[in-house]
Amino acid sequence: MAQLQGLPVGKLIIAFTALGGACAGLAGMLEVAAVHGAANASLVAGFGYSGILIAFLARHNPLAIIPVAILLAGFEASSGLLQRRMDLPDATVLVLQGFVFIAILMSETLYGRVKPLAPERWRLPDKRARRMPAERSTHERR
């Protein structure tokens, strides 16, 4: 479809993949410069994989990524407290994350099936929807 419109699909894919890589590289820079202050092997903490899942949970919406990322970071941050207060191993957070991810990804199947949460009800009324009743009223007048 995009090809039919005359867009250079291959070049766009390469350019945006490069941009995505640049964002991930920036995240690594922040991790070294602001959090750890040094680069070593302990940097490998699986943030990349969690990042992919956060993008899925946010339904690929950049604004929704912010709250989801903060929620997941909160899980990570609770690790120390869980270990100290409740004597649980550090893997507890990983298990929790896994269950949360799977539960949310599974609930994708319910999208649009639960009546009170149906997407049509929660959509903001856009211009076309507001014009519709007006048109109907003129129709009724005739």
Partner 1 sequence: MNGAELGLWSVPLAMLAGAIRVSTPFLFVSLGECLTERSGRINLGLEGTLVFGAMTGYAIAYETGSPWLGVLAAALAGSLFGLLHGWICSLPKVNDIAVGIALMLLGMGLAFFFGKPYIQPVAPDLPALNLGWWSELPQVQSALKVNVLFLLGLLLALVLGWMFRATRLGLTIRVVGDSTDAARALGINPIRVRVLSTAAGGALAGIGGAYLSLYYPGSWNEGISSGQGLMAVALVIFARWRPLNCFWAALLFGGAGALGPALQSVGVSQGYYLFYAAPYVLTLGVLIATSSPNRALSGAPAELSITK
Smallest gap from Cβ 93 to partner 1, in A, equals 8
Smallest gap from Cβ 90 to partner 1, in A, equals 8
Judged by phi (left if over 0) then psi (alpha if -120 to 50, else beta), residue 46 lies in left
In SS3 terms, 64-111 reads as HHHHHHHHHHHHHHHHHHHHHHHCCCCCHHHHHHHHHHHHHHHHHHHC
72 binds partner 1 (CB under 8 A): no
Smallest gap from Cβ 16 to partner 1, in A, equals 17
d(CA 26, CA 28): 5
Site residues (CB under 8 A) for partner 1, limited to 48-67: 49-50, 52-53, 56
Which amino acid appears at position 131 of this protein? R
Site residues (CB under 8 A) for partner 1, limited to 83-142: 89-99, 101-102, 105-106, 108-109, 111
Smallest gap from Cβ 131 to partner 1, in A, equals 32
> What 8-state DSSP symbol labels residue 3?
T
Instruction: Give contact residues for partner 1 (rule: CB under 8 A).
Output: 10, 46, 49-50, 52-53, 56, 89-99, 101-102, 105-106, 108-109, 111
